[in-house]
Amino acid sequence: MDRFRLDAHVKVLNDRVVERAKEREIDAVVYAPHFRRLPEIRSRAERFSDPELLVVPGREVFTGDWRNRKHVLAVGLSEPVPDFITLEGAIAEFDRQNAVVLAPHPEFATVSLEAHDLRAHGDRIHGIEVCNTKYLEPHGERSRELAREFDLPPFGSSYAHLPGSVGEIWTAFGRDFGTAEGIVEALREGVPRGVYRRSGPDHRLRCAAEFAHLFYENSWGKIDRLFLSGTEPTHPDHIAYEGRFDGVKVY
């Protein structure tokens, strides 16, 4: 089963990340940073891909407003999708583009899809995250319950916001995928996989560092400084979206 290792969700990408991924024998990562447009993500993914590590571009879209935010991970997008649109609007756009839709960290830290969201949109969701470095044991147990309840394929990732965390958790497949398109199709088809994690004191320290970083990542002050003015790259009012999302924007 452990023939091909995918770290299915990382937020950072640089030389150190690539080096760490290779040290961990990771074959591919999904690079999905916050508040970056798809062309920039694609360009960076291509820059850091090589024969030993495939970088797959993705978008974790920030749906809803600040008080009712839901993160949704899309892979295989053909066109950019902004943040701060309704969940229904995002799902509809992913469906139009035939993108793979994944539920990262469900019911976690007030930024996630909940059971009622999975029930409403389960027919358009291709996988659910059951393990990442920010999870405590109850989070993992709940995610596994949701995966069973809604019969969704599991996946695991480092959910790395810090370069040293890449490859701490991965999704393993029994066959190789030579291209980003091959990985997208495997996720779409629900190809059998396993979820694994490293162990030991260093792993626990990495997880603790990621959990501590969570409080910074989700602070209102950071979002307020970065976003909501309408000029940022993934705001729905940005000129790049040509008003296409006016009907589903929340800011």
Q: Is the pLDDT of residue 223 over 50?
A: yes
Q: Residue 221: pLDDT band by 50, 70, 90 thresholds?
A: very low
Interatomic CA distance for residues 89 and 95, integer angstroms: 10
Mean pLDDT of 60-82: 94
Q: What is the mean pLDDT of the chain?
A: 93
Between 3.20.20.150, 3.40.50.1220, 3.20.20.140, 3.20.20.70, what CATH number should domain 4-241 receive? 3.20.20.140
Mean pLDDT of 110-124: 95
Structure tokens at 202: 């260093």
Beta pairing class for 100-103 and 70-75: antiparallel
What is the pLDDT at residue 215? 65
Strand boundaries in the chain, DSSP class E: 4-10, 28-31, 54-63, 70-75, 100-103, 127-131, 154-156, 169-173, 193-197
Convert the pLDDT of each residue in 19-56 to its tens digit: 999 999 999 999 999 899 999 999 999 999 999 999 99
- SS3 call for 55: strand
Helix axes 15-23, 38-48, angle to 10 degrees: 60
Structural domain boundaries in the chain: 4-241
Q: Residue 109: pLDDT band by 50, 70, 90 thresholds?
A: confident
